C-alpha cells in the first residue's frame, strides 16, 4: 500500500506538499500560529496551550515568544527549559533539546528539494531533520541548514550560516560557520 503524503513527510521521504491533506494541516497550523502570535504578553497560559496543540512536543518550563513561523508544527519538538526568542522560523522536522537558548530571528530550515531538474520541477520536496542537542545556544539571525546536528553545549554566533555539524562544546560562527574555539 502506498504511503500518504503526510506519512511521507513524517518519514522524511520525497513528497508533494501541495496535496489536500498537507494543505489542510498547513491551514490548521497557520490558524494556531495566528492565534499564538496575536496573544497578549500576559496570556502565557494561553500561549502555552496553543503551542501544545501546534507542536509535536513542548517541554515543561519551555518558553517560545511570538512571532513564530512554521509549516505544520507537528514535526517540531522543543525540550524542557528551552527558550526561543522573538521572530523565529522553525520549518518542520526540528528537534530542539533541553535548556537551549535561541536568540531573536533565528531560522531553522529543514525543507529541501531534489537537485535533478525533472524531480525539482515536479514540486517534490523532502525534509532533512535538524537536531539541536541539549545546552546549545543559537545566536540571533542565524540560519541552520537542513540536516545539521548542533552538538551539546555548542554556541552558534549571531548571523552565522550553519551548513555542517558543529561538534559539542564549541563556538561556531561565520558564513559558513566554522569552529572558532572549544570550551
What pLDDT band is residue 180 in, cutting at 50, 70 and 90? very high
C-alpha cell at 21: 491533506
pLDDT band at 10 (very low <50, low <70, confident <90, very high): confident
How many CB atoms are closer than 10 A to CB 11?
12
3-state SS of 75-124 is CEEECCCCEECCCEEECCCEEECCCCEECCCCEECCEECCCCHHHHHCCE
Alpha-carbon span 67 to 55, nearest angstrom: 15
Beta bridge pairs of residue 181:
171
Q: Which residues pair with 174 in a beta bridge?
A: 177
- 3-state class (DSSP) for residue 33: helix
Is this structure's pTM higher than 0.85? yes
Q: Are strands 177-182 and 170-174 parallel, antiparallel or unpaired?
A: antiparallel
Q: Which residues are catalytic?
A: 113
Residue found by looking up cell 501541495 in the block: 18
Task: Give tens-digit pLDDT for 25-71.
Answer: 999 999 999 999 999 999 999 999 999 999 999 999 999 999 999 99
Asked if residues 136 and 79 have their Cβ atoms less than 8 Å apart, the reply is no
Grid cell of 83 as nine digits = 527558550
Q: Can you tell me the mean pLDDT for 134-153?
A: 97
pLDDT for 9 equals 84
Alpha carbon of 19 to those of 5, 124, 146, 181: distances in Å?
7, 11, 22, 46
Arch. (CATH architecture) of 5-182: 3 Solenoid (2.160)
Q: What integer best gives the mean pLDDT of the chain?
A: 94
Amino acid at each position: 500500500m502506498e504511503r500518504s503524503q503526510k506519512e511521507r513527510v513524517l518519514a522524511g521521504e520525497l513528497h508533494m506538499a501541495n496535496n489536500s491533506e498537507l494543505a489542510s494541516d498547513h491551514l490548521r497550523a497557520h490558524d494556531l500560529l495566528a492565534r499564538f502570535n496575536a496573544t497578549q504578553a500576559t496570556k502565557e497560559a494561553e500561549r502555552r496551550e496553543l503551542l501544545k496543540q501546534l507542536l509535536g512536543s513542548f517541554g515543561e518550563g519551555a518558553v517560545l515568544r511570538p512571532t513564530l513561523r512554521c509549516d505544520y508544527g507537528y514535526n517540531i519538538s522543543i525540550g524542557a527549559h528551552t527558550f526561543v526568542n522573538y521572530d523565529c522560523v522553525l520549518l518542520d522536522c526540528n528537534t530542539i533539546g533541553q535548556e537551549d537558548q535561541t536568540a531573536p530571528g533565528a531560522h531553522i530550515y529543514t525543507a529541501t528539494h531534489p537537485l535533478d531538474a525533472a524531480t525539482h520541477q515536479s514540486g517534490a520536496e523532502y525534509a532533512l531533520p535538524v537536531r539541536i542537542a541539549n545546552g546549545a545556544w543559537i545566536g540571533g539571525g542565524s540560519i541552520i541548514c537542513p540536516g545539521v546536528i548542533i552538538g551539546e553545549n555548542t554556541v552558534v554566533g549571531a548571523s552565522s550560516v550553519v551548513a555542517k555539524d558543529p561538534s559539542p562544546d564549541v563556538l561556531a560562527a561565520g558564513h559558513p560557520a566554522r569552529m572558532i574555539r572549544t570550551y
